[in-house]
Chains A and B, each alone.
Chain A
Amino acid sequence: MSIIVRDVNKSFGDFAALTDVSVEIPSGSLTALLGPSGGAKSTLLRVIAGLEKADSGLVEIEGRDATKLPAQDRGVGFVFQHYAAFKHLSVARNIAFGLEIRKRPKAEIKKKVDELLELVHLEQFAHRYPAQLSGGQRQRMALARALAVEPQVLLLDEPFGALDAQVRKELRAWLRRLHDQVHVTTVFVTHDQEEAMEVADSIVVMADGKVEQIGSPDQLYEAPANDFVMSFLGPVTKLGGELVRPHDLELSIEPRPDTVTAKVTRVTRLGFEVRVDLEIEGEELWAQVTRGSSEQLGLVEGQTLFVRRSAPVRAAAAVS
């Protein structure tokens, strides 16, 4: 394991930010800390980095007890949401900072900086100042700066949070490729489930200062540990008081075992998908079906259908 967090607690005054948090992050993985805003993901990341001191518990980085180490001795690279660029230093000097602190020879620093500038595609911006860069460029510079000291782990706190949607998507894909290239154990914080699913190998879902579930994107989606994880990771609707994915609802014209009678209230065609709003004894729910099955069923408003969950076994099996 690259990072081990065990029974960490942290409060700010009366507010318990982290409660008995334990997480293990395997070496070389790309892990997302996912959860709603204010769910203390950033606090956990900052505790790992040593920017925040845990009230109790243990942090281990690459087999070394880091609980009491100050941030500068932890060997972590940290990327901040708002870049934290050194405004009075050029891009090259920003990237060189950690190496200069370590008093590396000038030639070595120059070589490393040039390599990193190329890696983050900022070669022609070496002598610019952060104020002359766009948000996306600044964040790439911050990433190069963090990578320059060859950290054991790379921590990113909502790295794309301050960027607009287009740049965000590009950087996301780029981060994934970069990780495949550099292989450093990486943990990033996000509140965007799509971002987590797309980029990460494994996801730690957090809410209210607690870990809800840890697993691969597939595991979390297919076998959520609880209703919170299920509704946070994708669309949900309710059937007989239980949460179901709308695409896991099976519709039929004839009654089958375990089906209930439902009335179609609305049919919306969204390209390949069709959204069917239903009503069962006054309760509203919706199902997602393909265009093909919609035509087979001959869906129209006011029609009566029979609904049941499809393949409920799969989820139960994966949990255990």
Chain B
Amino acid sequence: MASQTAATVRRVGVRATVRTVVLVYLTLLLVFPLALVLFKTFENGVAPVIDSLTTASTQHAIQITVVVAFWAVVANTIFGVTAALLLVRHTFHGKRTLNALIDLPLAVSPVVVGLSLVLVYGRLTGVGRALAGIGINVIFSIPGMVMATIFVSIPLVVRAVAPVLEEIGDDQEQAAATLGAGPVQTFRRITLPSIRGALAYGVVLALARSLGEYGAVAVVSGRLVGRTQTLTLLVQERYQNFDQQTAYASAFLLVLTAVIALLVSRLLRPKELKS
């Protein structure tokens, strides 16, 4: 009995130590810096925050951020569901390659992504010139920023949807086919309702990632103030130009959206992925 009690005490002790280490780690890296941003943002009250968030350049940056994130999320939702269906429901040559490619954006630095887009679509390249000829500027404008954002958030929808597709199997889809439903009807009436939760989860994650992207967008946008500046770029630019109030307020706005996205994603997270 005595040794058992001692073991229990030891176990409780270990648990407490581990918990403390994790808490300290998270505090130093996450909680403290974010709390400081919060503190700095509201150091002089709410009025300056509202002022700096309503200036023309901040408003413009918010608008650019929303536009870029919106199109990136739309593109990745369509691509993500298609790719997940392809990977789970079909066998074809190059399936493993496609599977690996989808995870590539997780491994490649966003700056490299931006740089490679400039190399392909820049004004000095053939592709870039040809596109400019028909009035489409990719680099230093919205299309390039959307492409960069799509690239970095590609895996999120695919990886949220694919396991659920795997789990539900294709029995229901086959049953729908024998009952006379075509591929589009089957997708809309059977597949989509079954993956709804997972899809919403992936979309929210992709949205959060898109809103917060910095490196890739920094390279392809040219950081043109008032033209291609997103919120993350604005934070960095304002900070360097000693307009700390705007930098902190914009950073706070980004953190706030991220927290909301996280909360929403937790609510939407499909049961299958919950630990």
In contact, A49 and B178 (Cβ under 8 angstroms)? yes
A86 with B172: CB separation less than 8 A: yes
Question: What residues of chain A lie closer than 8 Å to B179, measured between beta carbons?
Answer: 72, 77, 97-98, 101, 145-146, 148-149
Whether A101 contacts B172 by the Cβ 8 Å rule is no
Name which residue of chain A comes closest to B181, CB basis: A101
Q: Cβ of B168: which chain A residues have Cβ within 8 Å of it?
A: 87
| Chain A 90-110 interface mask (CB, 8 Å, partner B; 1/0) | 000000011001100000000
Q: Taking the nearest CB of chain A, how far is it from the CB of B41, in angstroms?
A: 44
B111 close to A (CB within 8 Å): no
Asked if A72 and B181 sit within 8 Å, CB to CB, the answer is yes
Verify if B171 is at the interface (C-beta below 8 Å from A): yes
A262 at the interface (CB under 8 A from B): no
Cβ contacts under 8 Å, B194 to chain A: 87-88
A78 at the interface (CB under 8 A from B): yes
Task: Look across to chain A and name the residue whose beta carbon is closest to the beta carbon of B182.
Answer: A72
Contact-size category for B: 10 to 19
Closest A-chain residue to B190, C-beta based? A86
Residue contact B172 to A87, C-beta cutoff 8 Å = yes
B31 adjacent to chain A (CB < 8 Å): no
B171 touching A71, Cβ below 8 Å: no
Total CB contacts across the A-B interface at under 8 A:
64
* CB of B94 closer than 8 Å to a CB of A: no
Contact B182 A86 (CB under 8 A): no
Q: Is residue B185 within 8 Å, beta carbon to beta carbon, of the partner chain?
A: yes
User: Within 8 Å of chain B (Cβ to Cβ): is A235?
Assistant: no
B177 near A71: Cβ-Cβ < 8 Å: yes
Task: Report chain B residues within 8 Å CB of A50.
Answer: 177-178
Give bound CA distance, A82 to B174, whole Å: 12
Contact B180 A101 (CB under 8 A): yes
Mask, A282-315, CB within 8 Å of B = 1, is 0000000000000000000000000000000000
Q: B253 at the A/B interface (Cβ < 8 Å)?
A: no
Q: Is the CB of B172 within 8 A of A51?
A: no
Q: Which residue of A lies closest to B185 (CB)?
A: A101
Residue of A nearest to B176 (CB): A97
Asked if A70 is an interface residue, CB under 8 A from chain B, the answer is yes
Q: Mark B156-172, 1 if CB is under 8 A from A, else 0.
A: 00000000000010011
Contact of A72 among B171, B172, B177, B190 (CB under 8 A): B177
Residues in chain B near residue A76, CB distance under 8 A: 178
Query: How many of chain A's residues have a CB under 8 angstroms from any CB in B?
Result: 28
Q: Give the dominant DSSP class at B's interface.
A: helix
- Chain B min CB distance to A127 (Å): 17
Contact with A146, one of B177, B178, B190 (Cβ below 8 angstroms): B178
A178: Cβ under 8 A from any B Cβ:
no
A71 to B175: give the CA distance in the assembly, Å. 9
- Shortest CB-to-CB span from B73 to chain A, Å, is 24
B171 contacts A51, CB within 8 Å? Answer: no
Instruction: Check A51–B178 contact: CB distance below 8 A.
Output: yes
User: Chain B contacts of A83 at CB under 8 A?
Assistant: 171
* Separation of A138 and B229 alpha carbons in the complex (Å): 57
- Cα A74 to Cα B178 in complex, Å, equals 8
The answer, yes or no, to whether B135 is at the interface (CB within 8 Å) is no
CA distance A72 to B189 in the complex (A): 15
How far apart are B200's CB and chain A's nearest CB, in angstroms? 15
A65-80 contact mask (Cβ, 8 Å, vs B): 1 or 0: 0000011111011101
Judged by a CB distance under 8 angstroms, whether B133 is at the interface is: no
Q: Which among B174, B180, B182 is the interface contact of A84 at CB below 8 angstroms?
A: B174
Name the CB-closest residue of A to B192: A88
Q: Are the CB atoms of A84 and B177 closer together than 8 Å?
A: no
In the complex, how many angstroms separate the beta carbon of B270 from the nearest chain A beta carbon? 13
Task: Report the bound CA distance from A121 to B49 in whole Å.
Answer: 66
How far is the CB of A13 from the nearest CB of chain B, in Å? 10
**CB proximity of A106 to chain B, nearest CB, Å:** 17
Bound form: Cα–Cα A49–B171 in Å: 14
Neighbour of B174 across the interface among A77, A80, A98, A146, CB < 8 A: A80
* Most chain B CB within a 10 A radius of its CB, from A77, A88, A142: A88
**Which chain A residues lie closer than 8 Å to B174 at the CB level?**
51, 71, 78, 80, 84
Instruction: Indicate with 1 or 0, residue by residue over B180-205, a CB within 8 angstroms of chain A CB atoms.
Output: 11100100011001100000000000
Known: A72-B182, A80-B171, A101-B185. A88 touches B193 (CB 8 A): yes
Q: Mark A146-183, 1 if CB is under 8 A from B, else 0.
A: 10110000000000000000000000000000000000
Given contacts A97-B176, A146-B178, A148-B179, 16 further A-B contacts (CB under 8 A): A49-B178, A50-B178, A51-B178, A72-B177, A74-B178, A78-B175, A80-B174, A84-B174, A86-B172, A87-B172, A97-B189, A101-B176, A101-B189, A145-B179, A146-B179, A149-B180
Instruction: Offer 12 A-B interface pairs, CB within 8 angstroms, sorted by A.
Output: A50-B177, A50-B178, A70-B177, A72-B179, A72-B181, A72-B182, A78-B175, A80-B174, A84-B175, A101-B180, A145-B179, A149-B180
Give chain A's interface residues, CB within 8 Å of chain B: 49-51, 70-74, 76-78, 80, 82-88, 97-98, 101-102, 142, 145-146, 148-149
